[in-house]
Amino acid sequence: MQCISCKGKGLCGLPRCPITSRFLAQTDVKISASYQGSAPSVFVGSFGYPDIRRGPLLIDDSDHPPDWLTRGLGIEDIVSLRARTICGRSPARHVEGGLQEIARSSLPLEVDVAFSRPVSFAMTFDGTVAPMGFSGEIRRLDVVGSAKVERIVDRITGDTDLGAGEACMALSRGGSDVYGITKLMTAGLPGKRRCFVPTRWAITAVDDTISTALKKEIARYPPLDEYLVFSGEVFSNRIVCILAPGDWRYEMIEIWGKQTLWAGDAEVIVQDREGMTKQGYSPISGAYYSARLAACEYLARVRHSARVIVLRHISSDYWAPLGTWVIREATRKAMASPPVSCESLEAAVATASARIGFSHWQQHSTLIPEMRTQRSLFSF
């Protein structure tokens, strides 16, 4: 139980996390005090907020998770790629203009970076942000060339009268994906009161902001007229979604199997749910909002409301924490697959149990008993 809450933060008191030590592998990056090459994104840390450090991510890659899946990269490939990634860090304001230019560009920019000392390898990760291998204190950052900025990005980031939430939705409706919007958010570009936002906060904030807006749209749509069960998997993260007729309700149940990354000898199950509003931060953390976004995207696309139950089962084959993008893309993959149509709630629950591999998740659900006992206007 402590591991699933700690996620490598050192709460056990050991000098080195026995789990994270598995990822301190050899890399082919030459230790250097300078870098000339591609900077696809930016990273802002949360430690010591508001006195935070920020800088570019330096790697010859797009830093775009859907591209990794399209290229067929496995966990080992992504860990190796991220182990070679250099995270530049600086508390100084003189780097902010260059970072915002990197964030606005739709293509990775070429940069010339000088570090105060040679970069060091200390792979860091958590359950929200993709891992990174090297880090170094920036002494100088020069952006080479000009950013290619999409028209919608130029318009929204130039509008200082538009709130951050409205800006996120305008960007989303304009064709920007969640990864690009997160990059802009962490660089402090959208909104009225602009400031750099820690990347792990920005990821969840964008998922939450867009899905909350979509929930309001979904509430106006007619309910589904059947029970549907979807399933999909990415890197041993199995997602099963039950969609039931009714107004918007959402529940997520996350199951960490025995001997998995953040669980020990005992299985760990975490549950959370909401109605039209959400009180407090979910105990499931960023995965809750990433899965909710994918479910809302589907319902907005088919123009129906529904009660949604998302089951996530993680097996021991998921040996490296790659970030909440895995849950977002696994849920999107599930919602894009042909669903199983069921005649009743009981049939949908049985189908979901068969897809996830066991049935004892039901005892952790509070939405299923509610649907079994309560009747609404949709029942008549």
pLDDT digits (tens, 9 = 90+) for 126-158: 778 998 888 999 999 999 988 999 999 999 999
**One-character DSSP codes across 299-322:** HHHHT-B-EEEEEEEE-TT--S--
Question: Does domain 227-379 match CATH 1.10.472?
Answer: no
Q: Looking at residue 263, what is its pLDDT?
A: 75
Alpha helices in the chain (DSSP H): 2-6, 65-70, 75-83, 96-104, 151-157, 164-173, 178-186, 199-218, 286-302, 325-336, 345-356, 367-373
For the cut 90, the answer to whether the pLDDT of residue 52 exceeds it is no
Q: Map out the domains of the chain as residue ranges.
A: 22-144, 159-216, 227-379
For the cut 90, the answer to whether the pLDDT of residue 293 exceeds it is yes
Q: Looking at residue 22, what is its pLDDT?
A: 54
**CA dist list (Å): 58 to 53, 96, 321, 348, 361:** 15, 16, 20, 46, 42
Q: Looking at residue 91, what is its pLDDT?
A: 87
Identity at 303, one-letter amino acid code: R
For the cut 80, the answer to whether the pLDDT of residue 2 exceeds it is no
Q: Looking at residue 125, what is its pLDDT?
A: 65
Q: How far apart are CA 342 and CA 242, in angstroms?
A: 10
For the cut 90, the answer to whether the pLDDT of residue 186 exceeds it is yes
Q: How far apart are the first and last CA of the chain?
A: 44
> Cα angle vertex 71, ends 25, 330, to 5°?
85
Q: Looking at residue 26, what is its pLDDT?
A: 43
Q: Of 64-68, 72-76, 275-279, where does the model show the most confidence? A: 64-68
For the cut 70, the answer to whether the pLDDT of residue 29 exceeds it is no
Q: How far apart are CA 274 and CA 249, in angstroms?
A: 6
Question: Does domain 22-144 match CATH 2.40.50?
Answer: yes
C-beta of residue 204 within 8 angstroms of C-beta of residue 289? yes
